[in-house]
Amino acid sequence: MRKLTLVVLAAAATMALSYSFTSRDAGAGKRERFTALFNGKNLEGWDYYLVKPDVKMKDVWSVQDGILVCKGEPLGYLHTKKKYTTDFVLVVEWRWAPGTKPGNSGVLLRVNGEPTGVPRSQEAQLRSGNAGDLYGFHGMKIDGDPARRSTGTSGVVGELVRVERMKSVENEPGEWNRYVIIAEDGRLTATVNGQIVNSAFDCDLVAGPIALQSEGGEIHFRRVDLTSFGE
């Protein structure tokens, strides 16, 4: 099976994390597919769920001057119509709305099960000050360094596992940040602003959409790109 080598990871962290990754093993039968999940024009390819069914998609998410704007209320998520489970590299660029108090959000991976305010999924955290934390919600399996791993139960996310980031490298609220999330063979590697900040392993491989949370605080996205690898 094709491996994302340490050379690729180092390049991801030090070369401004360019928006496509080249397969290093063409003979392994893997095909690379690049997709701009957010096209900068509209929300084609996306659907949504909100805990308040009377609230429309356009009332929470909109595209303004090439930027995807999420108002942050009510609780819910914008998700791709397509499901992903194989190896992939996801690039997300975000900022908290300039001049406002930063809040909470997250990049959800492999969303599955019944739709809820926070669905069964794995999360790369976007809460201001905590970007780089990795979670498994509603019993979704994820593991990591025991010194940074914790578990708990919440009425919103059920049984959860958290793997805390090794360090915080976010820019000041209102400035743009870049996430690179590498999923490979049951592992997740999170890179923020060019630095590897977390890694998890033994992650459940379940087919599901990729989602962006509405969870309090206006947040902006200017890039959501996916390079997937499959047979």
Task: Look at residue 1 and tell me if it is in a domain.
Answer: no
Q: What pLDDT score does 29 carry?
A: 55
Q: List Cβ neighbours of 57 (8 Å cut-off, separation of 6 or more).
A: 43, 48, 78
| pLDDT tens figures, 81-130 | 999 988 999 999 999 999 999 999 999 999 999 999 999 999 999 999 99
151 assigned to some structural domain: yes
Is 201 part of any domain? yes
Query: DSSP letter at 97?
Result: P
Q: 170-206 burial string, b = 16+ CB within 10 Å, else e? A: beebeeebbbbbbbbeebbbbbbbeebbbbbeebbeb
3-state secondary structure 158-209: EEEEEECCCCCCCCCCCCCEEEEEEEECCEEEEEECCEEEEEEECCCCCCEC
Average of per-residue pLDDT values in the chain: 89
The angle at the Cα of 185, spanning 163 to 49, to the nearest 5 degrees, equals 65
Higher pLDDT, 231 or 173: 173
pLDDT at 2 over 70: no
Q: Retrieve residue 44's tokens.
A: 């084609």
Domain ranges, residue 60: 6-17+43-230
Q: Does the residue 135 lie in any domain?
A: yes
pLDDT per residue over 48-69, tens digit each? 999 999 999 999 999 999 999 9
The answer to whether residue 26 is domain-embedded is no
Rounded to an integer, what distance in angstroms lies between the CA atom of residue 143 and that of residue 8? 23
Q: What is the tens place of the pLDDT at every residue in 127-183?
A: 999 999 999 999 999 999 999 999 999 989 999 999 999 999 999 999 999 999 999
Judge whether 36 lies within some domain. no
Alpha-carbon dihedral sign for residues 4, 7, 8, 13: positive
Res 217: pLDDT: 93
Q: What is the pTM of this model?
A: 0.88
For residue 163, tell me if it sits in a domain. yes
Say if 35 falls within a structural domain: no
Number of domains in the chain: 1
| Domain CATH number, residue 126 | 2.60.120.560
Query: Does the pLDDT of residue 222 top 60, yes or no?
Result: yes
pLDDT in the model for residue 193: 98
